[in-house]
Structures are given as C-alpha cells and as structure tokens.
C-alpha cells in the first residue's frame, strides 16, 4: 500500500468508505477478478470471482477471512493487520450506530440496519444481540419488520422493471420509430462477419487512422471523454459530446492482434493513450473507462448494420455498447447493455479527416 493509503485507511469511519477503499485497492492491483481468484487459489485461499464481485459491488463489510484473502491476492499482505483492525473498528461503529431507535445507523443501507456481514448484528436494535433486555428475538423481529416493509415496494419495482423491459424494445425517444434496418442483435449482423451476408459493408471498411464515433440517435454528437452525470463515478468515461468539442483528443480503432476485433483507443497530447474498458463492478459498472494499459482493455466486434458506415459495437461478453437515456442528450454515457433492436446501440464510424 502506498503512503497515501497508509494514512487514509486507519481514518476510515464507516462502511461505504471502507468499501470504496477496497475498490481502490483492486484498481491499484491492476488485476482482473479471474487473476485475483487464481492468485488466491495458488496460496490456498478461497476467493471465487462471484463472491469477490458481490463484495466489491455490495454494501456490506466482507467477512474477515474473505477480506484477508482479497488483500493477500492484491499483494498487500504486509498491510493485512491494518485492514483487519480497520474492519473491526468499522464493524463496531456500525453495530453501535444500529442501536436505539434505528435512525442513526452507520451502515450503507440506511433504515438503521447494520450492514456487517458475518458479524453478530443482522438488524436494527442493540449492537450486542446477547445483551440483557435486547435479545436476539428483538433483533430478528426488527429484521423481519424491515423485510416486510420492503416487500410491497419491491413488488412495484419488479413490475416497473418488467414494463421497462417491454418499452425498451421500442426506440428510446418518444415520437421516433425503431430502426428496422439491421438491429444490433439481428441475426444478419451476427452472420455477416466473414460470410459476405448481411449489409454491403464490413468491418474491413472501417476508416484507418483518426475517426469519429457518431451515435446514430444523437445528431452532432460524438463518443469522447467526459464525467458521469450523477457523479457516482469520479473517473473519466465515454460519453457523447459535440463533435467539435472533442479536440485535441483523437479516436482510433486499431485491430486487436490475431482477432477480427478492434480496440477503441483515445490519444490525448497531455494524458497520453487510453483504450476503453467495460467496468464490471462498483459504482461505474457497465460504463466504459479509458485504461492506460491497452492490453488489459476490451476488444469490440464491429457488427455492420444497414446504413452507410453504421455498426454495432459488440462487447466480449456478447452485449452491445449503447447510449444511456436520454439518448439524444449531450453528456449521456456510453454503457454496455443487452443487445436490442434500438437505434441507440448503433454508431456511424467516419474518418475524422472528412
């Protein structure tokens, strides 16, 4: 851990700050979830990717043994004692904050409930479940009451999500019609690579050198760097902004060695070169972030669609790059999402020299 980490970690007071520092540690390691799992297994630790992903994107303190395995896998075993003692202190504060009427909990999920995973406190009430006058029954009762209170809202959320799923099969902006040319998830788009079927153009027709990635649904906007609108993630990510405001940064689509896929590469005279990576965990999940290490960034398959130089950008896990709503607005982020027939997942690729 660097000097900054040593000074910051002991002063962490609550669960969200602790989890944020965990995500920073993972980022500093430069390792993928798979690599962390493999490193843990090599020294006899158990750190499955699914558990690790849940830990980094969740709102609960990890169990001490899980935390220890993660810190060791990140190469910070020398600071393990600091991590464990800080976790213990944060867990104690969360338990104390869960006492009284449950209104001032230190946990991240609010409602007065503790978010200590693997600890003795699982609900509101006293921080000591065995303390006289409190009892585990009271702790469990409050936990059940909280769960009961969320059942109806949860059902409403499920219903709204189902409705949104139906509506997402239509175009994203009122008053427009879906593009029935060649949708991002169309079978023709899948089969066109290397077969000669489908659209008249192919990925080989992509301009060389500097290009502009123009979202089809946003006239005058190009894919470039920017900040997340709701500030949930602090780093630069891919957003759509006016094409005449992207300079001095340039975009290129170099082919990935040995594949029929391409990287999305940005070059900036001050910040250097970065390639887009789909984030898989944390507050930036599904956003596209430029990474200095292009060999660790994602490669995308350019699936041709009907229309001059129009493509869908398919991710390595089979999803498509689309624009978050509102899809015509300046500053809307690029996100990895399930492929649909919507136009907001299509991009026109043109030479920046034109």
Q: What is the pTM of this model?
A: 0.48
Highest mean pLDDT among 165-174, 186-195, 253-262: 253-262
pLDDT reading at 104 higher than 70? no
Token pair 């040593």: residue = 6
**Tokens for 72?**
């060791």
Reported as a single tens digit per residue, the pLDDT across 39-63 is 998 888 888 877 888 788 878 889 8
Region class of 286: left (phi > 0), else alpha (psi between -120 and 50), else beta: left
Q: Determine the pLDDT at residue 204.
A: 62
Q: Determine the pLDDT at residue 196.
A: 35
Mean pLDDT (whole number) for 260-268? 91
**Tokens for 51?**
């558990």
Q: Which residues of 92-106 are buried (b: 16+ CB within 10 A; e: fewer)?
A: ebbbbbbbeebeebb
């Amino acid at each position: 851990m660097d000097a900054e980490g040593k000074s910051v970690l002991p002063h962490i007071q609550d669960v969200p700050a602790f989890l944020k520092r965990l995500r920073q540690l993972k980022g500093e390691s430069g390792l993928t979830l798979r690599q962390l799992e493999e490193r843990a297994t090599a020294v006899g630790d158990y750190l499955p990717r699914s558990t690790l992903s849940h830990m980094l994107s969740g709102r609960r303190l990890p169990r001490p043994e899980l935390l220890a395995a993660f810190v060791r896998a990140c190469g910070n075993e020398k600071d393990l004692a600091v991590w464990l003692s800080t976790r213990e202190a944060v867990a104690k504060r969360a338990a104390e904050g869960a006492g009284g009427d449950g209104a001032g909990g230190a946990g991240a999920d609010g409602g007065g409930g503790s978010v200590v995973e693997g600890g003795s406190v699982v609900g509101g009430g006293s921080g000591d479940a065995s303390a006289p006058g409190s009892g585990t029954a009271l702790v469990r009762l409050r936990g059940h009451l909280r769960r009961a209170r969320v059942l109806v809202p949860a059902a409403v959320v499920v219903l709204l999500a189902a409705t949104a799923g139906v509506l997402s099969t239509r175009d994203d902006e009122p008053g427009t019609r879906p593009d029935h040319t060649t949708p991002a998830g169309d079978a023709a788009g899948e089969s066109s690579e290397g077969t000669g079927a489908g659209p008249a153009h192919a990925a080989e027709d992509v301009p060389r050198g500097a290009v502009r990635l123009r979202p089809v649904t946003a006239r005058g906007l190009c894919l470039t760097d920017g900040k997340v609108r709701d500030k949930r993630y602090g780093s630069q990510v891919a957003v759509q902004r006016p094409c005449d405001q992207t300079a001095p940064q340039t975009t290129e689509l170099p082919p990935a060695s040995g594949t029929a896929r391409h990287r999305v590469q940005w070059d900036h005279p001050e910040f250097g070169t970065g390639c887009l990576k789909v984030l898989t965990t944390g507050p930036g999940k599904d956003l596209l972030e430029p990474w200095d290490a292009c060999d660790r960034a994602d490669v995308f398959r350019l699936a041709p669609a009907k229309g001059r130089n129009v493509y869908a950008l398919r991710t390595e896990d089979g999803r498509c790059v689309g624009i978050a709503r509102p899809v015509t607005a300046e500053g809307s982020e690029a996100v990895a999402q399930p492929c649909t027939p919507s136009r907001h997942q299509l991009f026109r690729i043109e030479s920046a020299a034109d």
